[in-house]
Amino acid sequence: MQTDKIVIITGASRGIGAATAKLFAQNGYGVCINFLSNDMAAEQLKHEILQYTARCITVKADVSKSSEVQRLFDTVDKKLGCLSVLVNNVGILKTQCRLDAMDEQRFHQVLTTNVMSCFLCSKQAVKRMSTQYGGVGGAIVNVSSGAAKSGSANEYVDYAASKGAIDSLTKGLALEVAGEGIRVNAVRPGLIYTDIHTSGGEPNRIERLKSKIPMQRGGEPLEVAEAIYWLASEKSSFVTGSFVDIAGGL
């Protein structure tokens, strides 16, 4: 079921990003796997994706830096073609602590990585998709977090703040480009089984907290990927500036 559509997924070598990349490939998209450091994971994912599509590339790039984002998008232009969908999935968090125990460097890194990457990649995508620039339209899906609403007190206030910024960026950009053929939406995952919790210092965090989830379980990366794919597809053609919470009722 190959299509002529192309997707870039940032931070795609693991977790939600990897599940999303495989799902788009299974639906015939050409896929660009962006990653920062884990070459082995990116290549393994590419090997899996090549079972579904012959069009898959990996691009190692720090998407919080303008020059590397430019290189990422230029590479996709040359090797895959006209961009159809951007999934801004990159996100980091640090070890759990209160805000008054955080240092400036940590706060700056979390916001720079999570927010600047979304801004820079969205800017490049708009310049390629917008009818104002001669494009044919497209979709941007941002991966926010339930933390944008909860605030993640005593754990990740900096991460929550960065995701709150993603929500504002999603809404504002959606309104700016709605008349130019581009839809911009976001998903807000809750407690999902990925290794990001290890980065926060508590690999079993979901097991500790799942009793607070109305559905009494954590979510799977594919459950988030399915929502991302729907928002990118024509099945959501009248949806923009919207948020899908994938949090088991939280």
Q: Which residues are catalytic?
A: 159
Q: Please tell me the distance from the alpha carbon of residue 140 to that of residue 145, in angstroms, as a whole number.
A: 16
Q: How many CA atoms lie within 13 A of 155 on its CB side?
A: 16
Residues in contact with 57: Cβ distance below 8 Å, sequence separation at least 6, in sequence order: 31, 32, 33, 46, 75, 76, 79, 80
Q: Which residues, other chains included, contact 11 with Cβ-Cβ below 8 Å and sequence gap of 6+?
A: 17, 34, 35, 36, 63, 89, 90, 91
Tokens 């960065």, residue? 162
Say which residue the tokens 């926010």 belong to. 144
- Cβ contact 35:9 at 8 Å: no
- H or E stretch including 30? strand 30-35
